[in-house]
Chain A
Amino acid sequence: MEEDLDARKINSTFLRDHSYATEADIISTVEFNPTGELLATGDKGGRVVIFQREQESKNQPHRRGEYNVYSTFQSHEPEFDYLKSLEIEEKINKIRWIPQQNAAYFLLSTNDKTVKLWKVSERDKRPEGYNLKDEDGRLRDPSTITTLRVPILRPMDLMVEATPRRVFSNAHTYHINSISVNSDYETYMSADDLRINLWNLEITNRSFNIVDIKPANMEELTEVITAAEFHPHHCNTFVYSSSKGTIRLCDMRSSALCDKHAKFFEEPEDPSNRSFFSEIISSISDVKFSHSGKYIMTRDYLTVKVWDLNMENRPVETYQVHDYLRSKLCSLYENDCIFDKFECVWNGSDSVIMTGSYNNFFRMFDRNTKRDVTLEASRENSKPRAILKPRKVCVGGKRRKDEISVDSLDFSKKILHTAWHPSENIITVAATNNLYIFQDKVN
């Protein structure tokens, strides 16, 4: 009994701390590196936290590859644009890893305006015994040097350093929503509401504008770019999505400025579902190529769609994420939730897709079996090695046990950012200021 009481006490303090988490702690992006060994998160406070998967140990088979904090650094600081008299938030909008080419790791992080290239490297040895410097690094008086010695490397505690290698600034007037590293590993693009720029990873003072949809007269503006991504294998091809629910595929070989798309993906509107909110809910919040490069996945407010690159007039698959919200669009418009930008991800083999919803729910769709599941990222089921129970939202009047009614969904708890390990069934889900990592059942 006494133990119970104590446990409750601890829990309540824990919860209180949780609710006092500041705005800066809210996770704004998550991304695995190409091997899945590292997982990076960015938050509203401009910090990047990198987790590393620990090596499997034979003694403790149940501790299979847990992720521990590897490095934390401040990627972006709040800035002030004196020309426009405006504050630039430090919030990390996106992180993208550069495929590893040597012992160090490289990643790109971006806020609304500036992209930075970070090098994350380990150091576990330090050189000792320089001839011209003493142990503190000060130059020695040459007259005191009487003998020459060979410097040696001595082991020391492992240190992980993050150093900014390049800062790509002053190229975006609007807010950057996407960055994407090209498959040539030499270039990347950054997309804002109206333009997409192409950069060389080595060159910071010059970028090429490859898409510009800004009308000469801003009064005529009716459409914005919402996301963009390079093809995983063809370095000349990229796609971008728009607020009107369309996707354009562009070929950079055709012209320097890709104003004319090579392909245009659009689904005709279903007249039976037409409403004042049709356009808002069809606005695409995320676009992702499959690993194979054969498909594109898009997320709009209520659905996830999979498009075949060879079929432009309609998606090959459409999955309902939370269709029960269709009747609540008016209040979701009123409280601005309708503008939430949910992301979507593929699993390693492109057979399952995952995306977020409200009430800390997230959804998975198996493309082969057509089965889907709703899971919840919550403190109760986040005890180590607990098994996630599928959740169900009931639409009708009768609510069965374990079901949750649409009316009691918490719209302030939303899962916007998720990531899937590139080859294994390990997923990560960002719920406000908590990061959950789930994996396939061991054994």
Chain B
Amino acid sequence: MLPCSSDARPVTDTMFARGIKRKCFDGEDEIEGTLAGFKAIPSYNLQRQSLLDMSLVKLQLCHMLVEPNLCRSVLIANTVRQIQEEMTQDGTWQIINAQSTGQTSLDRLVSTDILCRSSKEQGEGKFISGYSNFNTDFEEIQTQDISELSTVTSVQTSRNMQNLWEMGNSQDNKGNFQKSLDQIFETLENKNPNSVEDLFSDVDTSYYDLDTVLTGMMGNTKMGHCEVLESFSSQATTNSSSNCKTELNEIDHIVEILVES
């Protein structure tokens, strides 16, 4: 069960080899029957959402490169467009955005969780345990961090709101989204030669080395990327706990926090 099919009927046999017992995420019968309705098919929407998140993270990473692989960027951007179109059609775009205010952190955690786990399960068994350890560790850290960071993040968000989202009406998320896509394409063409240096000038490169992030993504096909994604989403959660307005803003925040911390 994956966000693979764009009509509302999920492909049931995907992801799991035949003969292996499938885990039940949600009532599948429900999903078969109802079309669209957000409440009726939460898992499909959740997975579609996580696919969208993943695509946006990928796009942002392209965005940071001076000369990204154009074919890959275009294909990812088209995928994002397609998901956005579908979400606008069935109305989930608004609902998700309305819901996202305030309590995104948990939703997001769950969504990336599902995505990573499902891909790991078919990868290597041993990694799952490592992953779940990581996850619990992360939760512990998170609870500490939120209390410690609350002041910092609120300062950051208010500043970010001014800097980045002053154009974006909180209700007009589509415009915001379009904007971020447009920015990405703009940079595909006209690269500010200093952008990457500027971005990373204050960053402790030993940890946030762009190469490490990217080679983790490109090179290590088994597990690297999931960890990267996870680290991104951990950034996102600490951030989004402080009233971040939209999903998309968050992705931008992730990058910005990466840059500023």
Contacts and interface: CB of A to CB of B under 8 A. Distances in A.
A226 B54 CA distance: 24
A219 B224 CA distance: 31
B72 A327 contact: no
B19 A397 contact: yes
A211 B219 CA distance: 33
B74 A221 contact: yes
Contacts of A327: 11, 13-17
Contact of A407 (B3, B7, B123, B186): B123
Given A86-B66, A279-B82, A411-B221, A224 B74 contact: yes
Nearest to B229: A334
A406 to B, nearest CB: 6
Given A221-B185, A397-B20, A328 B122 contact: yes
Interface in B49-96: 51, 54, 58, 66-67, 69-72, 74-75, 77-79, 82-83
Contacts of A85: 66, 193-194
Interface stretch (A35-43, A133-141, A270-278): A270-278
Contacts of B18: 395-397
Contacts of B82: 276, 279
A329 interface: yes
Contacts of A336: 58, 72, 217-218, 221, 225
Contact of B75 (A174, A279, A407, A412): A279
Contact of A175 (B70, B185, B217, B218): B70
Interface in A223-270: 223-224, 226, 243
Contacts of A218: 185-186, 188-189
Interface in A156-208: 174-175, 193-194
B222 interface: yes
Interface in B29-55: 48, 51, 54
A330 interface: yes
Categorize the interface residue count of chain A. 35 or more
A299 to B, nearest CB: 14
A194 B221 CA distance: 28
B158 interface: no
B17 A219 contact: no
Chain A CB within 10 Å — which of B20, B78, B182 has the most?
A: B78
B119 interface: yes
Interface residues of B, number: 57
Chain A CB within 10 Å — which of B122, B218, B225 has the most?
A: B122
Contacts of B186: 218-219
B78 A222 contact: yes
B254 interface: no
Interface string B98-131: 0000000000000000011011001100000000
A407 B194 contact: no
Contacts of B66: 84-86
B70 A219 contact: no
Interface in A392-443: 395-398, 405-407, 411-412
A302 interface: no
B231 interface: no
A283 interface: yes
A47 B54 CA distance: 36
B251 interface: no
B78 to A, nearest CB: 6
B111 to A, nearest CB: 13
A279 B79 contact: yes
B220 interface: yes
B71 A84 contact: no
B253 to A, nearest CB: 21
Contacts of B182: 219
Interface of B: 2-7, 11, 13-20, 48, 51, 54, 58, 66-67, 69-72, 74-75, 77-79, 82-83, 115-116, 118-119, 122-123, 181-182, 185-186, 188-189, 191, 193-194, 217-222, 224-226, 229
Interface of A: 84-86, 174-175, 193-194, 218-219, 221-224, 226, 243, 274-280, 283, 326-331, 333-337, 339, 395-398, 405-407, 411-412
15 contacts: A84-B193, A222-B78, A275-B5, A327-B13, A327-B17, A330-B14, A331-B123, A333-B54, A336-B221, A339-B69, A339-B71, A396-B17, A397-B18, A405-B17, A412-B220
